[in-house]
Amino acid sequence: MRVLSGIQPSGKLHLGNYLGMMKQCIDLQVKGEAYIFIANYHALTTVSDADKLRQDTLDVALDFISCGLDPKRTIFFRQSDVPEVQELTWLLSIVAPVGLLERAHSYKDKIAHGKEATVGLFAYPVLMAADILLYQSDIVPVGKDQKQHLEITRDLAVKFNLKFGETFKIPEPYIPEEVAVVPGTDGQKMSKSYNNTIEISGSPAETKKAIMSIVTDSTPLEDPKNPDTCTVYQLYKLLATPEQANEMATKLRAGGYGYGTAKKELLALFNEKFAGFRAKRAELAADPEGLEKVLQDGAERARVEARKTLKLARRAVGLE
């Protein structure tokens, strides 16, 4: 079973990224052959600062490996180090209906929020399809926001196969057990767009500042509090054991337990959970050449499969 997933380097990774995507990928690497890539071509639709893109790309690599991704087991690489994906994007674009791309929810949402309607933004799903089909992926972990893009990938693979002959494996979506929405410090979904994140690579001081800034209501210290509407508890529950979560819920309901104390407990648990991550990250960051070698080695392994698939596609359309 071949698994493929990617993540954009569009800013510092946060707790929502870790629980929603990274942990899923790390768990899957022991269940099959995993291809995980840093989608820096995709990031160009939102990031226009070259230095920032380079740094964010390295930060994603540091974070993933520090969280438990094993580059010996997983093929881990930068998207831009596999140029074959761009040629395949063009070959898929010749069977991509304009109407299909116009119906993409992500494209319509970004335009509605003021993004410029560029060809790159419009053709984003075709590049994503090339990412997936280039490695003949069996399954692709997706959340609700990316499910339509995988459906587009499947449509393009079927169209290409019907027009030019069997070339691509039709990938299946992998919908993991429902991942709880990770709330941000303001109670909305945690997102860089909302500036409400708790970065997993933040310094102890930055982590403390973020957690202590979590918005709470004005219930007095002595009064009972509802865990279900408490953002501090909702975040604590995502990291805690069931016993720890039940203990905090009981204290909140009983009264005499303030939000400030709950935040301190969340901070202590966060620091405990990510202590090993921070140590590993510092070690990797001190060896940039070693990190670069990991990415280059991953790209070479990825290109072995990429070249095979591209050769099949070129032959199918008559370029070879």
**88 and 164 housed in the same domain:** yes
- Tell me the β-bridge partners of 76: 36
Instruction: Report the 10 Å Cβ neighbour count for 277.
Output: 18
Do 196 and 184 touch, CB atoms closer than 8 A? yes
At 184, give phi and psi (nearest 5°). Answer: -85, 180
Q: Tokens for 94?
A: 């010749």
The answer to whether residue 298 is domain-embedded is yes
172: confidence class by pLDDT, cuts 50, 70, 90: very high
Q: Could you give the residue numbers annotated as active site?
A: 110, 189, 192
**98 and 219 housed in the same domain:** no
Do 265 and 236 touch, CB atoms closer than 8 A? yes
145: confidence class by pLDDT, cuts 50, 70, 90: low
Q: Which pLDDT score, from 0 to 100, does residue 57 have?
A: 96
Short-list 100, 137, 121, CA closest to 41:
121
**108 and 167 housed in the same domain:** yes
The whole-angstrom separation of Cα 240 and Cα 235 is 9
The answer to whether residue 192 is domain-embedded is no
Check pLDDT > 70 for residue 54.
yes
In 149-273, DSSP assigns E strands to 172-174
The answer to whether residue 47 is domain-embedded is yes
The whole-angstrom separation of Cα 130 and Cα 87 is 9
Q: Which pLDDT score, from 0 to 100, does residue 164 have?
A: 98
**45 and 109 housed in the same domain:** yes
Give the SS3 label for residue 183.
strand
Q: What is the mean pLDDT of residues 206-233?
A: 96
Q: What is the mean pLDDT of residues 260-269?
A: 98
**156 and 228 housed in the same domain:** no
Check pLDDT > 90 for residue 46.
no
The answer to whether residue 280 is domain-embedded is no
The CA-atom distances, in angstroms, between 8 and each of 78, 230, 239 are 10, 30, 24
**268 and 292 housed in the same domain:** no
The answer to whether residue 172 is domain-embedded is yes
Write the DSSP string, 140-164.
EE--TTTHHHHHHHHHHHHHHHHHH
The answer to whether residue 13 is domain-embedded is yes
**27 and 102 housed in the same domain:** yes
The answer to whether residue 282 is domain-embedded is no
State the burial class of residue 216 (Cβ atoms within 10 Å of its Cβ: 0-12, 13-18, 19+): middle
Q: Which pLDDT score, from 0 to 100, does residue 254 have?
A: 97
Task: Give how many domains the chain has, as a whole number.
Answer: 2
CATH number of the domain at 98, please: 3.40.50.620
**170 and 209 housed in the same domain:** no
CB within 8 A of 94, min separation 6: which ones? 317
**105 and 240 housed in the same domain:** no
Q: Which pLDDT score, from 0 to 100, does residue 177 have?
A: 64
The answer to whether residue 191 is domain-embedded is no
Convert the pLDDT of each residue in 79-130 to its tens digit: 999 999 999 999 999 999 999 999 988 888 888 888 888 999 999 999 999 9
DSSP secondary structure letter of residue 227? G
Domain membership of residue 58 as a residue range: 2-180+288-317
DSSP secondary structure letter of residue 138? S
The whole-angstrom separation of Cα 135 and Cα 308 is 9
**134 and 256 housed in the same domain:** no
**44 and 165 housed in the same domain:** yes
Convert the pLDDT of each residue in 182-200 to its tens digit: 999 999 989 887 899 999 9
Give the SS3 label for residue 3.
strand
Q: Which residues of 71-98 are buried (b: 16+ CB within 10 A; e: fewer)?
A: beebbbbbbbbbebbebbbebbeebbee
**94 and 130 housed in the same domain:** yes
30: confidence class by pLDDT, cuts 50, 70, 90: confident
CATH number of the domain at 219, please: 1.10.240.10
